[in-house]
């Protein structure tokens, strides 16, 4: 069932090859598909590598020929011709096709008028959308149309088995338009077989623009007519008859009736059934219990009776949903509270990997989210130990390379990279200044509107921690700091040589931030009421579950969610990149610099170091739910800022500062984000946001550490 639900036509594949053994195993299982009289009227031609390319080339040559003749030689109509269709049906079909096509064009930045762009996209069908394996399915020509249906069952089996193996498919009836060229290229007897469909098979590239476009389906009642079933109205009669019998004898309460009574709010009937000794945890169709049905439908009185009768709160139905899932999805606050009071497990995931909290979020039931946040654990998203260890190695070696002997400063920090040097508070060789990465963004964002910015992080119970809180408050930043009594506030040694800085950090308490802090009611409320939520990418290494929460709360509340790549290791370590990619659909703005962007492209196996290309591609990763399209903002030092939106790139210039005025480049990128967000909060256009960001960056690099002049030097 999982495979049926998650299968999507994939039109973006990784280059990773698929072995012949894998395809063979898949096809031999798929051949278990039923066919009338077990005739198995299908044939499958599988191509990879040079053979695939040769087939594509043949298709292109054929298409060019068609273009010259201005005619298309078709064996059959892939879609019925307008003339052959009832007008109402033609309208319906066209609207569905156009809806799909427009989603695809939008993702590729193609307009309806752009005939060349649309043609280029059509050609991708014949490249098998970049998949490493292509298949051509034919049917024995002597068969009638029912045999095409049998081959369809084979196709669906291929698609579902592929999902189970982490692979993806695209069915390509576009190949049906090119039958004659396919017979030649693959040496198929045209007299005996007819080409029906192509199939692209490979590992999906989830960061690709067309890896899985959401598509609608009709409601079951819109395409299906049920006959001969007992309707709910008739059922009432059945209940009455049943009740009479039930009073006469204390047995014979049918489970199906009990569960349906719970569903339709028949409180008295449920009470009777319990009194008659019904098994309260018995399951009906789809594995649903009475408590599940009553919870899903918000029948508070029945839920109370069932809980009093010790009904189990955590029995899942066939889709893995428990009573709490559906009460949360349907917004039944009181039922959710009753289930939690009865110790229902809020961490159970259904077959779609969703917890009750996720279901409530998906429908924006904020009160339920708040109730569930307190009892939900988000910790299973933390990278595995082995990957975390790999991360530590990478980071430590990076930090070692960064040390340059020069003047040093020490700063408290709340979220940064990892440590390599020991800096003591009050040490003779160091000077001490306030500042951390995310904190400097908060300060920069707050410059023009004191009190508008809040900052969450973790400090130790020491002087640095107190100082950081004090300095933030003085700058008008509201702090919500978790104080860890075991760890020291993070510190960072900054070495500066010719205005260029190197950081050597000891994260200490900054590494100790916990999701529970974000879930505390006053902090959760702050998150929920924010217009913009910003997470430093470093935070992925500290509390990925908090990023998960923040990004999804933003989706629910309609806030703008922003993430920073922050460092190359964040995109290089597989577990961190996986978290980044998981969060990307929720990101309205993704910030980074050119080095981080290139590291991402390299880690993702993209064959380009062109910042415009990388930003474009990241901008096209589909958004979650109904979020508007994402903007990618890549800074390049003194070079123009690259902003990509829906696949289009715009360059914004940055002011040039004479090198003698640069004191310390520390915090430039972070200040940029702060200034940018301050302007964004005021509803400014992207160009103005970039200008405000550049101004904050140019200001901060004229001072030592993450410090700003008292009076803002530029207006967002
Ligand atoms: C037999 C068959 C042929 C198809 N041919 C094409 C095709 O040539 N090009 C394409 O982009 N999509 C093709 N599709 C994909 C459909 O557009 C897609 O299945 C439909 O929009 C539903 O989306 P979903 O598969 O992601 O659920 C085909 C699907 C089927 C079942």
Q: Give the tens place of pLDDT for each residue, 169-206.
A: 999 999 988 878 899 999 999 999 999 999 999 999 98
pLDDT at 442 over 80: no
pLDDT at 298 over 90: yes
**The two structure tokens encoding residue 533:** 């939520």
Q: State what percent of residues in the chain have pLDDT above 90.
A: 38
More confident residue, 332 or 70: 332
> What's the rounded mean pLDDT across residues 146-165?
97
* Among 121, 171, 198, 211, residue to substitute to test ligand 1 (most atoms within 8 Å of Cβ): 171
pLDDT at 401: 27
Neighbouring C-beta atoms of residue 618, cutoff 10 Å: 25
Given 205, 484, 664, 670, which residue is catalytic? 670
Q: Note if 670 is an active site residue.
A: yes
d(CA 674, CA 668): 10
Q: What is the mean pLDDT of the chain?
A: 81
Q: What is the pLDDT of residues 465-479, one digit of tens each?
A: 898 888 888 878 888
pLDDT at 714: 60
> Do residues 480 and 526 touch, judged by C-beta distance below 8 A?
yes
Q: What kind and span of H or E run contains 332?
A: none
Q: What is the pLDDT of residues 314-335, one digit of tens each?
A: 999 988 999 999 999 999 999 9
pLDDT at 415 over 50: no
Q: What is the DSSP string of 510-567?
A: GGG--HHHHHSHHHHHHHHH-SEEEE-GGGGGT-HHHHHHHHHHHHHHT-EEEEE--S
**The two structure tokens encoding residue 643:** 């902003």
pLDDT at 236 over 70: no
Q: Could you tell me if the CB of 100 is within 6 A of ligand 1?
A: yes
pLDDT at 278: 86
Residues 6 or more apart whose Cβ sits within 8 Å of residue 621 = 206, 207, 208, 209, 581, 584, 585, 630
Q: Could you tell me if the CB of 200 is within 6 A of ligand 1?
A: no
Let me know how long the chain is: 716
Cα 96–chain centre separation: 25
Q: Please give the CATH superfamily to which domain 2-223 belongs.
A: NADH Oxidase (3.40.109.10)
The DSSP bridge pattern shows strands 490-497 and 168-172 to be: unpaired
Q: Could you tell me if the CB of 581 is within 6 A of ligand 1?
A: no
Q: Could you tell me if the CB of 169 is within 6 A of ligand 1?
A: no
Residue 170 CA to ligand 1 centre (angstroms)? 6
Q: What's the half-sphere exposure (Cβ side, CA atoms, 13 Å) at 370? A: 14
**The two structure tokens encoding residue 200:** 């692209």
Range of weakest confidence among 9-18, 68-77, 339-348: 68-77
First-to-final CA distance of the chain? 51
pLDDT at 47: 97
> Do residues 445 and 677 touch, judged by C-beta distance below 8 A?
yes
**Domain 385-700: which topology?**
3.40.1190
> What's the rounded mean pLDDT across residues 104-126?
89
Q: What is the pLDDT of residues 667-710, one digit of tens each?
A: 788 888 888 988 898 889 999 999 988 888 888 777 666 666 65
> Do residues 9 and 213 touch, judged by C-beta distance below 8 A?
yes
Residues 6 or more apart whose Cβ sits within 8 Å of residue 68 = none
Domain boundaries, the chain: 2-223, 240-376, 385-700
> What's the rounded mean pLDDT across residues 619-627?
84
Q: What is the pLDDT of residues 577-592, one digit of tens each?
A: 889 999 999 999 999 9
**Domain 240-376: which topology?**
1.25.40
Q: What kind and span of H or E run contains 635?
A: strand 631-636
pLDDT at 398: 28
């Amino acid at each position: 069932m999982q495979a049926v639900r998650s299968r999507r036509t994939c039109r973006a594949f990784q280059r990773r090859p698929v072995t012949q053994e894998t395809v063979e195993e898949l096809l031999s299982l798929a051949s278990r598909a039923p066919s009338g009289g077990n005739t198995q009227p299908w044939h499958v031609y599988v191509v990879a590598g040079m053979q695939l390319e040769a087939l594509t080339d043949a298709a292109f040559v054929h298409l060019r020929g068609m273009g010259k003749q201005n005619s298309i030689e078709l064996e059959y109509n892939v879609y019925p011709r307008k003339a052959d269709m009832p007008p109402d049906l033609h309208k319906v079909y066209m609207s569905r096709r156009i809806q799909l096509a427009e989603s695809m064009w939008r993702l590729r930045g193609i307009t309806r008028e752009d005939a060349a762009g649309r043609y280029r996209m059509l050609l991708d069908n014949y490249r098998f959308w970049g998949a490493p394996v292509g298949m051509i399915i034919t049917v024995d020509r002597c068969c009638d149309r029912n045999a095409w249906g049998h081959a369809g069952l084979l196709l669906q089996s291929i698609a579902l088995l592929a999902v189970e193996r982490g692979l993806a498919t695209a069915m390509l009836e576009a190949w049906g338009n090119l039958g004659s060229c396919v017979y030649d290229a693959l040496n198929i007897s045209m007299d005996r077989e007819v080409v029906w469909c192509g199939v692209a098979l490979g590992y999906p590239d989830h960061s690709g623009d067309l890896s899985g476009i959401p598509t609608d389906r009709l409601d079951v009642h819109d395409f299906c007519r049920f006959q001969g079933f007992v309707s709910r109205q008739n059922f009432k009669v059945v209940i009455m008859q049943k009740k009479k019998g039930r009073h006469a004898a204390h047995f014979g309460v049918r489970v199906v009736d009990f569960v349906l009574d719970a569903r339709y709010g028949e409180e008295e009937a449920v009470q009777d059934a319990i009194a008659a000794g019904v098994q309260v945890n018995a399951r009906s169709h789809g594995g649903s219990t009475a408590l599940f049905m009553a919870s899903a439908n918000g029948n508070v009185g029945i839920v109370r009776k069932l809980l009093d009768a010790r009904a189990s709160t955590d029995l899942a139905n066939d889709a893995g949903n428990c009573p709490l899932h559906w009460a949360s999805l349907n917004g039944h606050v009181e039922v959710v509270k009753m289930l939690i009071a009865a110790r229902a497990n809020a961490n159970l995931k259904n077959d779609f990997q969703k917890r009750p909290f996720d279901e409530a979020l998906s429908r924006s039931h904020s009160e339920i989210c708040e109730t569930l946040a307190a009892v939900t654990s988000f910790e299973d998203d933390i990278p595995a130990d082995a990957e975390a260890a790999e991360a530590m190695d990478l980071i430590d070696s990076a930090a070692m390379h960064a040390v340059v002997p020069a003047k040093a400063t020490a700063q408290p920090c709340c979220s940064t990279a990892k440590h390599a040097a020991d800096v003591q508070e009050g040490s003779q060789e160091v000077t001490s200044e306030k500042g951390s990465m995310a904190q400097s963004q908060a300060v920069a964002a707050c410059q023009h509107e004191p009190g508008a910015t809040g900052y969450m992080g973790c400090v130790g119970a020491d002087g640095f921690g107190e100082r950081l809180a004090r300095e933030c408050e003085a700058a008008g930043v509201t702090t919500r700091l978790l104080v860890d009594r075991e760890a020291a506030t993070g510190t960072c040694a900054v070495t500066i040589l010719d205005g260029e800085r190197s950081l050597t950090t000891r994260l200490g308490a900054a590494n100790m931030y916990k999701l529970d802090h974000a879930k505390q009611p006053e902090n959760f409320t702050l998150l929920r009421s924010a217009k913009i939520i910003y997470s430093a990418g470093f935070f992925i290494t500290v509390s990925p579950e908090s990023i998960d929460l923040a990004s999804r709360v933003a989706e629910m509340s309609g806030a703008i969610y922003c993430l920073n790549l922050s460092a190359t290791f964040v995109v290089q370590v597989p577990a961190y990149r996986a978290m980044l990619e998981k969060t990307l659909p929720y990101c309205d703005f993704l910030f980074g610099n050119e080095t981080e962007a290139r590291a991402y492209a390299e880690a993702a196996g993209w064959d380009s170091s062109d910042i415009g290309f990388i930003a474009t591609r990241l901008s096209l990763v589909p958004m979650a739910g109904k979020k508007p399209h994402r903007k990618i903002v890549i800074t390049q030092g003194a070079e123009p800022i690259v902003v990509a939106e829906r696949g289009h790139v715009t360059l914004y210039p940055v002011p040039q500062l004479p090198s003698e005025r640069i004191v310390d480049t520390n915090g430039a990128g972070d200040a940029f984000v702060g200034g940018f967000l301050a302007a964004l909060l005021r509803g400014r256009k992207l160009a103005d946001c970039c200008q405000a960001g550049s101004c904050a960056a140019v200001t901060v690099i004229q001072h030592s550490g993450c410090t700003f002049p008292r009076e803002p030097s530029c207006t967002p």
